Structure 1
Amino acid sequence: MKATSSLFKKAVIILLLATLLAACSKTGPAGPQGQTGATGATGAQGPAGTNGTNGATGATGSQGPAGTANVIYSEWFTPSAYTVTTTFGIIHLDYNKSTPGITQAILDNGTVLTYGKLNGYDSALWPTNQVALLPITIDYQIGTTTNIDTWSANATVGNIEIDLVSSTNAYSGDGSINHAHSFRYIIIPGGVAGARQSSPPPDYSNYDAVCKYYGIPE
């Protein structure tokens, strides 16, 4: 009887120990999240990539307008006084304009254009600020006589001479002419006349066209 009781006690103790061990083996609740660790050092830079291919060449732009390189031009100038000379009974009224741009090479191979604004005449004969290439002739009546004024320009090295001749010698001296007439020259070296644009040079008697073609301010 005592042996049976002793065995029973052992069995109970073993059962209690097994139950206790089973309870201790269960997973407990999750602990709090730990702090984020420090950022690691930046790694070494990788090798450079290969260069991309070049883009296609753009289209060629249109040609710009012609400039005024090598072409020489003056401002409008008004003679303050004329020199009076008589040759074979014909009275000439002359004005000499110093023109350093006229060289022997220009005279041999270039072009010298002289334009006039003859505002000294009545506007019925010459419209105000009208421009024309010299030589210019103007016909008008003096009483019952027809008079013809001829304006011309003579280019020499370093000089342009403006010359007025009246068919009736209507001008006896400098004081007999109106000083409102003005003039301008354009010097075009040889090789420039038709080489500046693909189009041929303009009619030199067309002042506006000449200025536009060579890029000269009017």
Structure 2
Amino acid sequence: MLEVYSWATPNGHKVHIMLEECGLPYHVHGVDIGKGEQFEPEFLRISPNNKIPALRDPDGPDGEPITLFESGAILLYLAGKTGRFLPASVSGKYEVLQWLMFQMGSVGPMLGQAHHFRIYAPQKIDYAIERYTNEARRLYTVINKRLAHSPYIGASEYSIADMAVWPWLRSWRNQGVEMADFPHLKGWFDEIDKRPAVQRALTVLSERRRPVLDEQAREMLFGNTQYKRR
């Protein structure tokens, strides 16, 4: 059985969605990032960047155990393991991979910064709020244009690229975006939201996540604790 170390965040939900879509048996270990559990030595052994999610497969390549961190790498591994949600053709595979990299390099980091400066930063910095809100809208525009010509982000079929991007767009209000301004994106978003596997994935660890950050959580997520040498 796969061992998944995760939390109810967009990056965690990417992997939860893939696992549910593939019907793979897994056991989830909650890593409460608001309490600093991502800094525990046991977790750092499989995720040296102290970020969720991470995965351990006792039946990895050649029958040997494997551990992985970084959500994009985990999605690729699971796609390879199951032969699902990544095109078999070389051209199709790279079409999906470019959009997966787009999520990893742009959508996640930039929307994360939009969340931080619009919602969580202790000081409201107008320059930062404007910069990342505008970047969020730019990224939504890129996705909307893509979906005007393709039913899915990565290819003509649902893929790991869709699973990677979709969870980050659930908080569009917090990013200063109006979903109605992006009709092609909205149609795609609503379609994926109805998938039973996606709805199951969203319940994973949801009962443990606290909607409001207390001072301990703010320190663990944004304070100097994360910069200590370990």
Q: Same fold (TM over 0.5)?
A: no
Q: Which has the higher strand share?
A: 1
Instruction: Calculate the TM-score normalised by the size of structure 1.
Output: 0.21
Q: Which has the larger radius of gyration?
A: 1
Instruction: Calculate the TM-score normalised by the size of structure 2.
Output: 0.20
